[in-house]
Amino acid sequence: MTVEILLDILGLLLGGIGLATPTIEYYLKKRISRWLCLAAILLALALSIGLLSLTLGNPPTYVYDGALKIDAYGAFLFTITSLGALFVTLASFTHTSKWTTAPSYFSLILIITVGVYYIIAVNDLVLLLAAWALVSVASYAFVGIKKDEASLEGAAKYALMGIVASAFLLFGIAILYGVTGSTDIRTIVQAASPANMQAILTAIIMIVAAFGFKVGIVPFHGWLPDVYGGVNPILVSYIAGIVKVSGIAALLRIVYPFAPKLGVSWLFLFAAFAIVTMTFGNVAALIQRNFQKMMGYSSLAHVGYMLVGFAAGGSGVSATIGAQGIALHLATYALATTGIFVALSYLAEKGLGTDLDGIAGLWRKMPILSSCIVILVFSLIGMPPLIGFWSKFMYLFFSVIEIAPWLALIAVINTGVSVGYYAQIIRYVLSTRGTDDRNEVRENPRDPAVIAVVLTTVLTVALGLGLAPVLASLLIL
């Protein structure tokens, strides 16, 4: 079967090269880990696009005895994950050149990426636990890979919260298995009935809490702003932009199918999470003076927006629009977040600060990077014709217009609040005061990080110019 062969190659390619990279570099005494990683990710991107072309318009394919579900929706997220990994790898070429841990850094990118693929396509709770463990443990190591004080502190917080999240996930899975006697998602959903619905709802809340720790759903977000706001930005670009995709995808695969059976309970559960998460994220970001910390809290707000799409899950056409909106907004978020954090890492590398004063007047020194930052911020706001406009307003918010107009209104108000801090970023970048000739810093258009940021921006614009709705119409969960 072609789909299964492509998936086999993906796993073996990334896992094999990821595990072998440090050893190969050690014995050859040549810095080739970055090139091996780049080659593997490029091949993975090609295979992901191949999977997308094979699955568009076709029913899902179940592989590995039903453990994985491969469909166009998942293949699209595979492609977004591959693109994000490619941009981070490219940006890391010069940024990590002096790190003694660079071989392990590139190895972990490949290992985490293959784990994210499996979570995106998961259809069995046992496989979920294995993929969760792989991504989680590798992510803790990845956050602390630079071995400076901020990275080690961030890794410790991330790991501690991960342990708590794992406990919630195990309890949730144990309840589902105990009630239904199966670990297959399809069988579990079919076995859900009014008689066991209370236990299943408890399990769902525990699983949401588990992935809430991973992606930053309030009140399970405690570690996230500190890590996103304090760890080296190049590390955050991958954790925030790519690993978060796996958490949202896992909720879609495991929890979303229960929406029609839970009805109003589902709507109010996810509406509550959405409102609290996006409101807290936006208000906390509004009072920050540090660009990187703003983006950390902003990431919470965008999870809240995606939860609006989840809230629509129990209502027919609205559920389809909501799921399409989640996929599109994952693309919006992954591209913009990856691009902005890569840009921040480039600024830090050039000796500029990541606070608002550090980016003041940036356009005079780095016009290309500044233009990209402004466009990516506009996409996060939801300005047309960028992809953020489609994912936010035309899909996520529109999905609940009929079933919960009050939720759509709250989401729009939150978007208005977010303009307050996003406008601050744009104002400082384009201000006439600031950097002057400090440090004589200049951007080099040929620097890998600049190229990576430009590519995220080009995709953000291209997907917004008519491609987003075409893609969305083909993505049926």
Residue 237 to residue 105: CA distance in whole angstroms: 13
pLDDT at 436: 52
Report d(CA 346, CA 46) in Å as an integer.
27
When mean pLDDT is compared across 53-62, 200-209, 348-357, 407-416, the lowest value belongs to 348-357
Whole-angstrom distance, CA of residue 357 vs CA of residue 105: 31
Write down the mean pLDDT value for the chain: 88
Share of the chain above pLDDT 90, in %: 45
Q: How confident is the model at residue 262 (pLDDT cuts 50, 70, 90)?
A: confident
215: burial class by Cβ within 10 Å (0-12, 13-18, 19+)?
Answer: buried
- Per the listing, tokens 């989840």 go with 310
CB 403 within 8 A of CB 315: yes
Q: Is residue 442 classed as helix, strand or coil in its secondary structure? A: coil
pTM (2 d.p.): 0.93
What's residue 326's pLDDT?
93
Taking the CB of residue 57, how many other CB atoms lie within 10 A of it? 9
Q: What is the pLDDT of residue 389?
A: 92
- Indicate if the pLDDT at residue 1 is higher than 70: no
Show the tokens assigned to 329.
Answer: 């907004």
pLDDT per position as a tens digit, 71-127:
999 999 999 999 999 999 999 888 887 788 888 899 999 999 999 999 999 999 999
Give the per-residue pLDDT at 304: 94
Give me the residue label for tokens 């356009």.
363
pLDDT at 433: 66
Angstrom distance (rounded) from CA 243 to CA 158:
13
Highest mean pLDDT among 216-220, 265-269, 443-447: 265-269
Residue 362 CA: distances (Å) to CA of 100, 368, 398, 446? 31, 10, 36, 18
Compute and round to an integer the Cα radius of gyration of the chain. Answer: 21
Q: Is the pLDDT of residue 315 over 80?
A: no
pLDDT at residue 466, rounded to an integer? 81
State the pLDDT at residue 439. 53
Give the SS3 label for residue 41.
helix
pLDDT given at position 471: 85
The model's pLDDT over 137-179, given as tens digits with 9 standing for 90+, comes to: 898 888 888 877 777 887 888 888 888 888 999 999 999 999 9
Tell me: pLDDT of 437 over 70.
Answer: no
